[in-house]
Chain A
């Protein structure tokens, strides 16, 4: 069974806050000391309420389409920000293929409280447990290594560099909102996306990864979906915090919706403030785009939504690709 469905989205912390006050707190945290763009004045309570509503619709759309695709497993392309890894051993690519579930915390609503709730202090409310498809993880490891990808191997949930946060937020924050239910297993494919790291995957390499994933999955019996988690342009606490690179985001989306993901290979082929920031997380979207394109050349993504929310310091986007192999309809 080939890959049957693909999707990608932002996962900015603000997207999981429901109130103006929550957004204000997060803005205060992530803008750092960077002077803010004048458009920030337009993001009052009414605008934030609109962002909150659109976010809910966008994630619900992803969940609805993913559910309809009836995936047996979801391969999640995600980055890490000092959660599983630190400077001691930072992989460009790593797949967790262990027996243990991944246990961490989402942050949905945590910053709406004053003071904000620490999710790890409230495991009953914020706890997330994700099942892992070890067998598929093994297939991906074997196949990718055979294809020349130097994937780091994880058989045990990595030693937590941020013990309280436990798990990369790219996994545990958005997945509860998009998985049909948390029983659907995942395979986390971790990609280095950290800011200002020169030894990091180029856009071309990310596209090659996607093509390789598609080739490996093509003959497997499961219905496999792909999800890219991260982006779009942002630079939390960095020199461009709040200065969302809308031209970059729009260009990126344009390539996906035009069915021309190969055009994105130039990303990360050079260093720039624009791409060394959180925009590096768009790497996680590239394998999804390339895999879907390999499965059906020229396939066009659908833009679910995109908005520039400077108080989230992020250009927020959601896309899906059409279901490739329709799920059987029960008789």
Chain B
């Protein structure tokens, strides 16, 4: 059964906090970094509108995910020194254990610990690891108990936990980590072939499988230009994906720029998912985009499905 559904959602802690906490989230992400001129446009009224748009986008994404009747969901995320530490940082990693856990609570927001556990499809993950390796991808694999080394108290990144919780996704997952934050990063040119190989591997299973991306788009939370968003880049990325040209995203990361740091590096995830869905013949739909300075990221929603 081929890949039957794809969903991509930017990640920012702001997306998973109530509107009344957005100022606090902004303070945590942006601090006292000088903000771009357009940040002043984010008035309370404007932010209320954004909150409604995001609620709608999440609701629609959840409905579509339900409608897809998935047996499993591959989740593409970037680790940020939570699962891995500097003793062993994989470029590509398939988690083939039975459950994974993490705690998305942020101490800087005064939040109490809130760990969640997600069931995983270890069998499918092992199959993917084997097939991807045979297809030329030198994946690392976890086949035992989940043991986070980077942050043993908090486990897997919130980018994996938060959307699954908000979307109420109940299919077992297969977490796949793509290295976006430890240099040297995996080449952007590897993303399209990786996505295609992923779909080929899924073709060999009888399962209905979806892919979920959580990460990006442009932004540098906690960095020297936190709060600045490259909306030109984001809209170009969404435009390419929306016209089935994910392979063109590969060259972005051949270039070095201040604007390509931080979460911008996670556009790799979108490139991989786009290629996987294109290979499966799914139709792209760019659903939403907000260059949201409070979130310190460009916030995009896309999905792929058979119409």
Q: Give A contacts to B, CB under 8 Å.
A: 33-38, 196, 239, 243, 245-248, 250-251, 263, 265-267, 269-276
Contact = CB atoms under 8 A, between A and B. Distances in A.
A270 B258 CA distance: 15
A267 B261 CA distance: 16
Contacts of A276: 232
B255 A251 contact: yes
B23 to A, nearest CB: 19
Nearest to B33: A38
**Smallest CB-CB A-B distances: 8 pairs:** A266-B254, A251-B256, A271-B236, A274-B259, A272-B233, A274-B257, A248-B257, A266-B251
A270 B233 contact: yes
Contacts of B236: 270-272
18 contacts: A35-B36, A239-B37, A243-B225, A243-B258, A245-B258, A246-B258, A247-B256, A247-B257, A247-B261, A267-B255, A270-B240, A270-B251, A271-B232, A272-B230, A272-B260, A273-B232, A274-B259, A276-B232
A36 B36 CA distance: 9
The winner among B230, B252, B255, B258 for most chain A CB atoms within 10 A is B255
**Interface of chain B, helix or strand or loop or mixed?**
helix
Contact of B255 (A35, A246, A248): A248
B35 interface: yes
B182 interface: no
A239 B248 CA distance: 26
B108 to A, nearest CB: 22
Interface in B183-241: 225, 228, 230-233, 235-237, 240
Contacts of A271: 232-233, 235-236
The winner among A246, A265, A275 for most chain B CB atoms within 10 A is A275
A37 B227 CA distance: 13
A248 B230 CA distance: 15
A61 B119 CA distance: 66
Given A34-B36, A35-B36, A269 B248 contact: yes
Nearest to B230: A273
A274 B37 contact: no
Given A239-B38, A247-B257, A273 B231 contact: yes
A270 B260 CA distance: 12
Nearest to B38: A239
Nearest to B224: A37
